[in-house]
Chains A and B, each alone.
Chain A
Amino acid sequence: AQKVTQAQTEISVVEKEDVTLDCVYETRDTTYYLFWYKQPPSGELVFLIRRNSFDEQNEISGRYSWNFQKSTSSFNFTITASQVVDSAVYFCALRKEYGNKLVFGAGTILRVKS
């Protein structure tokens, strides 16, 4: 069975602080995909990143960076110099390579205060 754990229920930071959102997953598959989505108060899920299990290179996109550690089954997400607009719920998700079903973690509420 597949499972995604986001242990941090809620994180509060002050603007310009760096923040890391943790994601730990469980799967028996050798090939799979990991995702991060952002859900702002409006409700719409915004796709942030997809990572194939064979690609362990860390990725940076502007203020966002992702650290994929297959050895510890973790796919953590770091926001550098956080901004108020980053306030949202962030979901980590897992999917089989050829599967349809996205298995979501419980989500982490990020509050960035000015």
Chain B
Amino acid sequence: GAVVSQHPSRVICKSGTSVKIECRSLDFQATTMFWYRQFPKQSLMLMATSNEGSKATYEQGVEKDKFLINHASLTLSTLTVTSAHPEDSSFYICSARVGPDPRETQYFGPGTRLLVL
């Protein structure tokens, strides 16, 4: 299957700081990438859809000013958690769709564990 990477895999930061998470498609171009959040022992919830060259589409209840998404190229999307607080501690997973066809499968990155102290 297609390979998606994330960096960093784990990050610990102080409350009030901003953290940037990168998501890269390694062997394909991804017009669309997705950011999910997973709390411990819970399911994944879609936060936003990231489209190359345009603004991200956020799910209801997700603060766009807090979770900044940039999709500057066909292989890279970034999620910045601004002014992070302990309640933002979570597992953030990105996925990328192979090709522009919305029927295509999404492949997931390895995830980033964020701990805000």
Chain A residues in the interface with B (C-beta under 8 A): 33, 35, 37, 42-47, 50, 91, 97-102, 104-107
Contact = CB atoms under 8 A, between A and B. Distances in A.
Contacts of B110: 42-44
Interface string B38-61: 000011111001000000010100
B49 A91 contact: no
A20 B107 CA distance: 24
B108 A44 contact: yes
**A-B interface, 7 closest residue pairs, ranked by CB to CB distance from nearest:** A45-B108, A44-B110, A43-B111, A104-B43, A98-B102, A104-B44, A100-B49
Contact of B113 (A43, A45, A47, A91): A43
28 contacts: A33-B103, A37-B108, A42-B110, A43-B93, A43-B110, A44-B108, A44-B110, A44-B111, A45-B44, A45-B95, A45-B108, A47-B1, A47-B105, A50-B105, A97-B102, A97-B103, A100-B32, A100-B49, A100-B57, A100-B97, A100-B102, A101-B59, A102-B34, A102-B46, A102-B106, A104-B44, A106-B42, A106-B43
Contacts of B44: 45, 91, 102, 104
B109 A44 contact: yes
Contacts of B93: 43, 45
Contacts of B32: 100
A94 to B, nearest CB: 12
B103 A91 contact: no
Contacts of B59: 101
B54 to A, nearest CB: 13
B91 interface: yes
B43 A47 contact: no
A99 B103 CA distance: 8
Contacts of B1: 47
B108 A47 contact: yes
A91 B43 CA distance: 8
Contact of A100 (B34, B42, B45, B91): B34
Contacts of B102: 97-100
A105 B91 CA distance: 17
B43 A105 contact: yes
